[in-house]
Amino acid sequence: MEGLNLPVRPSVIFEKVVVLIFNTFGDWNQISILAAELQGTNMKKIDWYILKKFLSTFVFSLVLLTVISVVIDMSERTDDFAKNNLDYKTVFSEYYSGFIPFIVSMLFPLFVFISVIFFTSKMAGRSEFIAILASGVSLRRILRPYMVGGVLLAFLLWMGSRYIIPRANERRTRFEAKYFKSSMMQSSLSHSIYMRVDSFSYCGIRYYDTTSRSGGSFFMQTVRDQHVTYNLRSDNIIWDTTRKSWKLTSVVERSISGMREQVAFYPELYKTFNFKPSDLQKDEYMQARLTSPELERMIELDKLRGSESVKELMMEAAHRNATPVAVIILTLIGAILATRKIRGGSGVHLALGIIICAVFILTDRFSTIFSTKGDLNPYIAAWIPNVVFSLLTIYLYRKAPK
């Protein structure tokens, strides 16, 4: 952001952000013209008019669809609430306080896209854009308030997905595990856990019970220069909550140096490893409960361990950065499509919008599967839908009447 010399007014700050985005990701002549135009002008009445309609429609659709989602979920959960004798205060403070941010973040791009399509189509139906274009205002100039609103909402989603949504997911999943016995929580008994402890050491646990925090047939070995230099085996491993370390029973410890070997036997031995009971609990939604700094640390730790779940963690981290950009892209697509007045009005625009959203979601799901189940890099997979729909945005812009 150096060299931008940001003004104090928020509208101009957003304009500079838009300029930075366009200059960073685009090299087309039309984009350069737009950037120069944005730098030399301020927000006009027409910009505030469109931006207010954009944000008010978004808030309305957000509240409406969130209420519908809560009502549907509540109708399905009523029996569970009644069986556990839960009052409405507990339900809303411990469950829906986490469920509402979760559903909002999941449908956020859809909310934005439908909002843009809806209010823009209404304006086009009243021939407002025909009057604006006839007065000499270009399409790229009309798109300025859409970009400002898209950047604002994308920033809110980016910040929320990094810090707020994970904490909400933590409350929601904890409540579900306690009262609903959600299927997302795996069986308390895990079989054959293998992991990398550090750069040279590997360990394994057979039959680990997450409830009692204990397991059997634990082993660890250190390999240097393709030779085993250290080996440890025990019949049982138990987490000691007082010492915050692992208690091993019936331990056999071997240290090997060339042809020499030292063997030691211990009835009990306390060891500190770089994994804790929470790391051994298999939970496919664990990454959704971690803030971005915690998620990044977990990724580095799982890379060191050679964990199979590292791709899922990387995919979650990549999505948290890619999805806000998708909000901006879908905003532009919706604006370009809906500014044209066509026979059928809002219904046709909404139908096209739903089709585009469905294709976007399918593209995202396919790229995610190819990454988690195949060899596709998670960061590339998360950005494939954005790249594809950025090309679609450019195509629609060039074909749209200017």
Q: Domain check: are 203 and 110 in the same one? A: no
Q: What pLDDT does residue 190 have?
A: 58
Asked which of 265, 282, 299 is the last residue of a domain, the reply is 282
Q: What pLDDT does residue 279 have?
A: 74
Asked which of 282, 301, 331 is the last residue of a domain, the reply is 282
Q: What pLDDT does residue 189 have?
A: 52
Is residue 81 included in any domain, yes or no? yes
Is residue 263 included in any domain, yes or no? yes
Query: Helix, strand, coil % (nearest 5) of the chain?
Result: 65, 15, 20
Reported as a single tens digit per residue, the pLDDT across 341-364 is 776 666 777 788 788 888 888 888
Per the structure, the count of domains in the chain is: 2
Residue type, position 262, single letter? Q
Would you say residue 210 has pLDDT above 80?
Answer: no
Q: Domain check: are 172 and 76 in the same one? A: yes
CB atoms within 10 A of CB 283: 16
Q: Domain check: are 270 and 362 in the same one? A: no
CB atoms within 10 A of CB 328: 25
Q: Domain check: are 60 and 152 in the same one? A: yes
Would you say residue 185 has pLDDT above 50?
Answer: no
Would you say residue 13 has pLDDT above 60?
Answer: no
Domain holding 87, by residue range, is: 43-182+313-399
Q: Domain check: are 141 and 223 in the same one? A: no
**pTM (global) more than 0.85:** no
Q: Domain check: are 69 and 178 in the same one? A: yes
Q: What pLDDT does residue 134 have?
A: 80
Residue 104 Cα to chain centre, angstroms:
12
User: Are 306 and 195 spatial neighbours (Cβ–Cβ below 8 Å)?
Assistant: yes
Would you say residue 377 has pLDDT above 80?
Answer: yes
Q: Domain check: are 175 and 227 in the same one? A: no
Which of 337, 292, 284 has the alpha carbon at shortest distance from 309? 284
Reported as a single tens digit per residue, the pLDDT across 138-149 is 888 888 899 999
Q: What pLDDT does residue 42 have?
A: 57
Reported as a single tens digit per residue, the pLDDT across 130-172 is 888 788 888 888 888 999 999 999 999 999 999 999 989 888 8
Is residue 340 included in any domain, yes or no? yes
Is residue 158 included in any domain, yes or no? yes
Q: Domain check: are 339 and 200 in the same one? A: no
Is residue 307 included in any domain, yes or no? no
Is residue 290 included in any domain, yes or no? no
Q: What pLDDT does residue 323 have?
A: 92
Is residue 267 included in any domain, yes or no? yes
Q: Domain check: are 48 and 176 in the same one? A: yes
Name the H helices within 126-138.
128-134
CB atoms within 10 A of CB 67: 11
Asked which of 282, 301, 330 is the last residue of a domain, the reply is 282
Question: What share of the chain has pLDDT > 90, as a percent?
Answer: 22
Average pLDDT value for residue range 49-71: 90
DSSP string, 367-391: HHHHHHSSS--HHHHHHHHHHHHHH
Question: What share of the chain has pLDDT > 70, as a percent?
Answer: 83
Q: Domain check: are 395 and 356 in the same one? A: yes
Q: Domain check: are 163 and 272 in the same one? A: no
Q: Domain check: are 66 and 154 in the same one? A: yes
